[in-house]
Structure 1
Amino acid sequence: MTPRAHEANAVAAIKHVLHACRAYAADHDDGAYPPNLATLVPDYLDEATALFVDDGSGEKLPLLYFPGFHTDSDPGAILIECPVQYTKNRIVGEVGGHVEALVAE
C-alpha cells in the first residue's frame, strides 16, 4: 500500500472514531467527550479495532486521543491524531468534527 493510501485509511478511521466521540458527547448532558477511546466500545463502535491504524509495515498502533474536551470547547482543538505520519501531513480530528491533514512542522 502506498503512503497516500495509508493516509486515506487514517483519515477514514479518524472520521469514524470522531463521529463516535461526537455521538457520545451528544448523549451526555454536559457535552463531554469520552474519557478515553475504549469507552466507545461497544455502544458507539462495534469493535476496538476501529481505534487502531496500520503503521505501514502491518503493525497496528492506537490512535492518539486528547481527553478533557466538551462540545463547547474550541472547535479547532485536536481531539484525535494519527500516530503515524505517512507523508508530510499529520492527520488530526478536531473537536468541531473536522478531519484535517496538517503539514508537519
Structure 2
Amino acid sequence: MSGNLLENENYHPRPLAQAAQQGDLQQIFGDTWEWTSSSYSAYPGYCSPQGAEGEYNGKFMCNQMVLRGGSCVTPQSHIRKSYRNFFLPQMRWQFSGIRLAHDGVSL
C-alpha cells in the first residue's frame, strides 16, 4: 500500500505535484482521511454482539459520517481498502479533508 502515511515521517499532507504518479488514481491512501457522504452505520446483515463490544459499537454507529483513506499520521499496518473511520465533523483533532475530482470532461 503506497501513500503518505506515518512511516514516511512527513507529518503534513503533500501537494499532488509531490505525489508519486501511479496511473489515474493518485493519493488514495494517506495525506488526509477523506469525508464521504455515508453515515457510519452497520453494514447490512450486521448483528450487534452482546455485552461491552455491542455497546461500544452502538455508541459510534450514531450521528457520525464515514472517512476513508487514512492520513499522514496513520500507520501503514492500519490501512486496508475496506477500512472506514468516523469522527464528528465539528471535532478537528484528526487530519481530515475532502477529495475534489472531475471526470476529465472540460467544464
TM-score, length basis structure 2: 0.24
**Greater share of strand:** 1
Question: Whose relative contact order is higher, 1 or 2, with alpha carbons under 8 Å and at least 6 apart?
Answer: 2
Which TM-score applies when normalising by structure 1?
A: 0.24
Structure with the bigger percentage of helix:
1
Q: Is the radius of gyration larger for structure 1 or structure 2?
A: 2
